[in-house]
Amino acid sequence: MEFKNNSYFVDTVSENISISSVLKKYEERLLGFEKDSFKVKEPYVYVKFCLYTTLIFRILEKELSKIDLSEDEEKVVNILKKYKYRDFEAPFEENYIKFTVWKNESGTLVYQLCDLRETVSSSENWNKIYSVYVIHPKYFKQIKKIVLKIINKN
């Protein structure tokens, strides 16, 4: 696959890309999310950010063993390690929220995030077409601390 000509990779591929530039870009996105007090405004954008976070943690996995983590940070790392395999850490209601895509008869899509305790059923006009657990937004404070520790170590 030719990455340079593929629009999906435009913001992350360059001739001289390095891990530090990828981390810097992630840190910028993380700080933007923090400006909103880690509140989710757009469900679809949030899901993409969770996937990006999973990618970053896969890249940094070896670095994680080289830094000292607090108990809370260790918990988040364990959640992320399991999440990359779509294995989920209990208690589910505490660690994840649900992302759902709804479609109506005219083809309109609606993206929704909800607490796992909420029971949402499809109505006459809306059909659930996709649903997945994503990392709870409250963990991004710890994720930020972990990423900054790795950046400062290197």
pLDDT score, position 133: 93
CB 127 within 8 A of CB 102: yes
pTM score of the predicted model? 0.77
36-40, 99-103, 129-133: least confidently modelled range: 36-40
Of 103 and 122, the one with more pLDDT? 103
CB 74 within 8 A of CB 81: no
Reported as a pLDDT band with limits 50, 70 and 90, residue 147 is confident
pLDDT in tens, 59-82: 888 888 888 999 999 999 999 999
CB 89 within 8 A of CB 78: yes
Q: Running DSSP on this structure, what letter comes out for residue 89?
A: P
Percent of the chain with pLDDT over 90: 34
